[in-house]
Amino acid sequence: MFISRYLITLTIISFFIQGFGAKAIAEEFNAWLDALKIEARSKGISQSTIESSLSGIKPIPRVIELDRKQPEFTLTFKEYLRRVVSDRRIRIGKAKLVEHEKLLTEISIKYGVQPRYIIALWGIETDFGRITGGFPVISSLATLAYDGRRSKFFRKELFLALKIVDKGHITAKDMLGSWAGAMGQNQFMPSSFHAYAVDYNRDGSKDIWKTLPDIFASIANYLSKSGWQGDQTWGRAVRLPDKFSSKLLGRKIKKGLNQWHELGVRKLSGKDLPKRNLISSIIRPEKGMVGPAFVVYHNYGVILKWNRSNYFATAVGTLSDKIKH
């Protein structure tokens, strides 16, 4: 069954685009969808939500294409950092911190997360809400759930997305996001929405698409529940001694700042590391002994729970430093 469905979904792109075999594929998908609707009802999702969200949807060839595409990370870390922590983004980030200072301060006090990190994550994820994705989330998740490659994961996310609609947080029509189902201005998957989304303005809806209080509080809640320590920063760029061993790189190696100092690690300026003896690691976002080096603390690991890329986590930390008052 798995192999059969996998082979069928592999043909979705070519068949749908060329108009060849579309009827057979549609029949297969519709039969699968009918069974899904029955399961959704058994999970307590209302019939009206099932019909309004799932009736008439079709597989999206572009979603399959993007899921099959292997990522090619050809940018060096410096190139990536220049792109995502641009002068424009720094300028906007500073302005957003000032514009929303009162709201961010309230949220910071409640969740123990410094405002600059909320703004930095918002900026890196969706360019401060400007780029949130235009794919219909329900259809995208249904396409990926039907596909045999990661069907179990996306089937679970699809049911969770339907529950979001069923609870009235948003309509299926307005639930737009990335091709993989990440939604809103903070790009939560449905599972993250259920775990961390907040109705901060208490209007009965957890609106991570348009309502800034909900968006900011949801980001802060995610970090807080992931173990954020509000009295610490994320890390800093450092200068390594010439004979620094590559065996000391990586988050598995943890030492106090005083120990790194004894090994010759210094601030990028050449000055001593902070006297505060935080447990930390030395990383280089690029593999091997190339590119910039950073000493990173506990909160860096929390950012990695949001996105497991060292490029991403270091960019968030760097942007937060650049926009700091």
| 10, pLDDT greater than 70 | no
Which residues fall within 8 angstroms of residue 18, CB to CB, at 6 or more apart? none
Structure tokens at 132: 């949130």
| 72, pLDDT greater than 70 | no
| 29, pLDDT greater than 50 | yes
d(CA 113, CA 242): 36
| 22, pLDDT greater than 70 | no
Report, as an integer, the average pLDDT of 32-53. 97
Question: What residue has token string 């123990």?
Answer: 112
Of residues 23 and 118, more confidently modeled: 118
Report, as an integer, the average pLDDT of 282-289. 86
d(CA 6, CA 1): 8
* pLDDT digit string, tens, across residues 137-189: 999 999 999 987 889 999 999 999 999 999 999 999 999 999 999 999 999 99
d(CA 310, CA 313): 5
In contact, 22 and 61? CB cutoff 8 Å: no
* pLDDT digit string, tens, across residues 179-216: 999 999 999 999 999 999 999 999 999 999 999 999 99
| 3, pLDDT greater than 60 | no
Of residues 22 and 116, more confidently modeled: 116
Q: What is the secondary structure of 207-243 as a DSSP string?
A: -TTT-HHHHHHHHHHHHHHTT--TT---EEEEE--TT
In contact, 187 and 266? CB cutoff 8 Å: no
> Which of 61-70, 71-80, 230-239, 303-312 is least confident?
71-80
pLDDT level of residue 15 (50, 70, 90 thresholds) = very low
> Which of 57-66, 107-116, 218-227 is least confident?
57-66
Cα-to-chain-centroid distance, residue 145: 20
Considering the chain, what is the average pLDDT of its residues?
A: 92
Determine the pLDDT at residue 21.
Answer: 57
Determine the pLDDT at residue 241.
Answer: 95
pLDDT level of residue 57 (50, 70, 90 thresholds) = very high
d(CA 253, CA 239): 17
Determine the pLDDT at residue 25.
Answer: 72
Determine the pLDDT at residue 5.
Answer: 55
pLDDT level of residue 12 (50, 70, 90 thresholds) = low
pLDDT level of residue 318 (50, 70, 90 thresholds) = very high
Instruction: Print burial letters for 231-243: b (CB count within 10 Å at least 16), e (below 16).
Output: eebbbbebebeee
Percent of all residues in the chain with a pLDDT value above 90, rounded to a whole number: 84
| 311, pLDDT greater than 80 | yes
Paired residues of 324 in beta bridges: none
